[in-house]
Amino acid sequence: MNTMIAIGFSVFVALLAFVFAGWLYLWVNKQESSNVKISKIAEMIRSGANTFLRKEYTILAKFALVISILIFIFLPSPIWKGSIGDNFIIAFAYLFGTVFSALAGKIGIYVATIANKKTAEAALKGIKPSFLSGFRGGAVMGMAVVGSSLLGVSLVFLITNNPTMILGFSFGASSLALFAKAGGGIFTKTADISADLVGKIELGIAEDDPRNPAVIADNVGDNVGDVAGMGADLFDSHVASLAAALVIGFSIDQLTGSHNTVLVFAYAAIGLLSSIIGVGFAKMGKNSSPTRALNSSTYITTLLFTVLTAIATWLFTFEWRIYFAAVTGLLVGVIVGIATDYFTDDSKTPVRKVSKASESGPALTIISGVSYGFLSVLPAMVGIAISAFAAYQITAPLGIATGTQIEYALFGISMAAVGMLSIVGMIISNDAYGPIVDNARGLAEMGDLGEEVIRITDTLDSAGNTVKAVTKGFAIGAAGLTVISLLGAFITEVNSAILERNLAIPLIVGFDIMNPAVFFGLLVGASVPAVFSAMLMLGVTKNAERMVSEIHRQFREIPGLKEGKEGVFPESDKCIDIATTGALKELIPAGLFTIIITIVVGLVGGVYAIGGYLTGNIVSGLLLALFMSNSGGLWDNSKKYIESGNHGGKGSEAHRAAVIGDTVGDPFKDTAGPSINTQITVVSLIASLLSIIFLTFSIF
């Protein structure tokens, strides 16, 4: 198989994904929705989400424009020193990346805010049609994201035949994702926490009580945080994994005349194809549960990928070693998923112990939750460590004949990341299902669809939460392997720059920890994810304080609101406004901090400091992301476990403590934790793109 055929196949599968997404959209759209009250509320959610996206994208468009101008002037090397054409293409690729990412988010929100009301009303007919509405609505997002990623990467590579430009595309995707994930994360948790603080804790009213002015904002938040944000995050990881694999694979191809880039496209396309088939077959069987339906379509997709790539490897005589590296990656995805499941599943020890500890008050809820969160990092970190080690050992021998063992080893790790992310279309579909059914549950309650519908949507929602915890673990694992291979891409970029420009600098063969610049970078890099998370969470706290006062004001000043008088509505738009403005204000410093400190370290310490810096960033980023996502998921499920009647059930002391735990966990698992993924990727890409600048201009 040659490169053109592989790219052609990728473009074909990407277009197929779009067609399939179109069909899914039409299917969802033709489902019944006749309830006026629900339509009205759904319209409020939709318009809130659109307002946020519009404001966010307006700011981000300016930001992207500034960055693209900077890229045009400075990258890959300053315009007065290199070729103007390269700079133009990379700036363009960057913009292309931001636009694709924004589009994927926009499509996801568009469909999700239709699917939510369809899902709610479908529940009147039973759980199966309701499940299908929610799942297919989410799958539109899944298909759109992976389709755009594969299409974008294929086109950029086809046009430029230069993987550095794909790094530009990838940086576009990441820089947007950084803000989309962080901004969405701040928005959604501001609303969620404020709604809970006043509603559940102060007034003791139900989760989606329509009197609460923050409830609509909370539902909007589910969409902008979990649909658009998570979509942007996984879009970014997927593009980055392809970019890293292409950079390294291309460099080996140049050196040895092999065809490794073919493999990257072939594997990615087969992954998307498997997801399309998996999504197509997903439905709830007889006596089945929604959790089982979601899981079994994930397993089908995984199996399909394993079998189809094996067939392709056999048919086109690809290297079996690369195949095993990719499969190792998928395996790690499964390990991380299972580990996450253990720490967040309410039938396992951690949730049970934390729920028990809640009987002695919120302090023990927090301490034990933090402890289990810390414990949960072990299996995932060891899993990622083993898979990187294994992929390295499996593929290194491929380079013996040509003296490119290290290059092949790094390519092996990048293919492990590609393997892990191959089924990402399915993962996103599962993930976007969550906020849709969560919204549907809210609509059912606010639209008075009755007990049975609420029960059905509750079941669907709880399945969404279980699956969400697992996919989040998967996303972190994927980001972990991806950034390790981006470290490989960084070395490749630096060395090609040295060779191309005949610089009088020895080639980089590695980063020695005992080199003081590397060690310096390591310590600084390790502190970045902590600071970044802190800034986001403080953003949430500040913003939530603003919104809580607004809710208090409304309950005080709007007559009849508290009593639930007929025809009296809260001013939900004010809450949406606070969440929007606050989120956009708070995310900028966190994003800029990350970008600037990377540039400073590179300019001060040079490429070796950056090597250490990236490593420190990866290590502490993985650690904190796993800790925060898992403890957050644990508290959420512990609260639900108590609410289902254990340890005194709703209203008990234990429940009050568990609600506090859940509130603490909210920004952990939905703001800071998952944003760290994107933060690491952005930093890795900046490092690769600025490698020539760091080589030429650093102080040490």
Q: Is residue 248 close enough to count as binding its own copies by CB under 8 A?
A: no
Residue 548 as a binder of its own copies (CB under 8 A): the answer is yes
The verdict on 537 binding its own copies (CB under 8 A) reads: yes
Residues 578-617 that bind its own copies (CB under 8 A): 611-612, 615-616
CB nearer its own copies, residue 354 or residue 463: 354
Of the candidates 45, 13, 116, the one whose C-alpha atom is nearest the C-alpha of residue 457 is 116
> Binding its own copies by CB under 8 A: which of 114, 140, 177, 384?
384
Q: Nearest distance from residue 535's CB to its own copies, in Å? A: 8
**For its own copies, which is the closer residue by CB, 47 or 515?**
515
Contacts with its own copies: how many residues (CB under 8 A)? 79
Q: How far is the CB of 571 from its own copies (least distance, A)?
A: 21
DSSP strands (E only) in 399-485 = none
Give every CB contact of residue 561 below 8 A, 6+ residues apart in sequence.
211, 554, 555, 568, 570
Q: Which stretch binds its own copies (CB under 8 A): 25-33, 57-65, 402-410, 450-458?
A: 402-410
C-beta of 366: minimal distance to its own copies in Å?
A: 5
Q: Which lies closer to its own copies via its Cβ, residue 457 or residue 492?
A: 492
Nearer to its own copies, 292 or 556 (CB): 556
Residue 620 binding its own copies, by CB under 8 A = yes
Q: Which residues contact 160 (CB under 8 A, 6 or more apart)?
A: 89, 93
Q: Using an 8 Å Cβ cutoff, are 629 and 673 in contact? A: yes
Beta-strand (E) ranges in 325-460?
A: none
Residue among 100 and 324 whose Cβ is closer to its own copies = 324
| C-beta of 197 vs 437, nearer to its own copies | 197
Residue 605: which residues within 8 A CB-CB, separation 6 or more? 517, 520, 521, 612, 613, 698, 699, 700
Please give the Cα distance from 266 to 287 (Å, whole number). Answer: 38
Cis peptide before 506 (omega within 30 of 0): no
Nearer Cβ to its own copies, position 207 or 458? 207
Which one among 87, 429, 533, 598 touches its own copies, defined by CB under 8 A?
Answer: 533
CA 7 to chain centre: 26
| DSSP for 560-613, written as a single string | TTTTT-TT----HHHHHHHHHHHHHHHHHHHHHHHHHHHHHHHHHHHHHHHHHH
Chain position carrying tokens 């499941």: 341
Q: Which of 393, 553, 556, 569 contacts its own copies by CB under 8 A?
A: 393
Report 31-70 residues binding its own copies (CB under 8 A). none
Give CA–CA dist 442/463, Å, rounded.
16
Interactions with its own copies, residue window 156-185 (CB under 8 A):
none
- Distance, CA of 60 to CA of 102 (rounded, Å): 10
Residue 370 in the binding site for its own copies (CB under 8 A) = yes
196/431 with CB nearer its own copies: 196
435 binds its own copies, rule: CB under 8 A: no
Q: Which is nearer to its own copies, 267 or 343 (CB)?
A: 343
Give, as ranges, the residues between 268 and 307 that touch its own copies (CB under 8 A). none
Residue with tokens 């002695």: 360
Examine residue 324 and tell whether it contacts its own copies (CB under 8 A).
Answer: no
Q: Which CB atom, from 475 or from 664, has the smaller least distance to its own copies? A: 664
Positive or negative CA dihedral for 688, 691, 693, 697?
positive
Nearer Cβ to its own copies (378/499): 378
Binding mask 4-33 for its own copies (x = CB under 8 A): ------------------------------
Q: How far is the CB of 370 from its own copies (least distance, A)?
A: 7
Which residues inside 471-530 make contact with its own copies, applying CB under 8 A? 484, 487-488, 491, 509-524, 526-527, 530
Site for its own copies contains 619 (CB under 8 A): yes
Neighbours of 95 (CB within 10 A): 20
Site for its own copies in 200-239 (CB under 8 A): 201
According to the binding rule CB under 8 A, does residue 349 interact with its own copies? no
Q: What is the DSSP string of 138-201?
A: HHHHHHHHHHHHHHHHHHHHHHH--HHHHHHHHHHHHHHHHHHHHHHHHHHHHHHHHHIIIIII
b/e for 430-462, b at 16 or more Cβ within 10 A? bbbbbbbbbbbbbbbbbbebeeebbebbbbbbb
Where in 651-690 is the site for its own copies (CB under 8 A)? 660, 663-664, 667
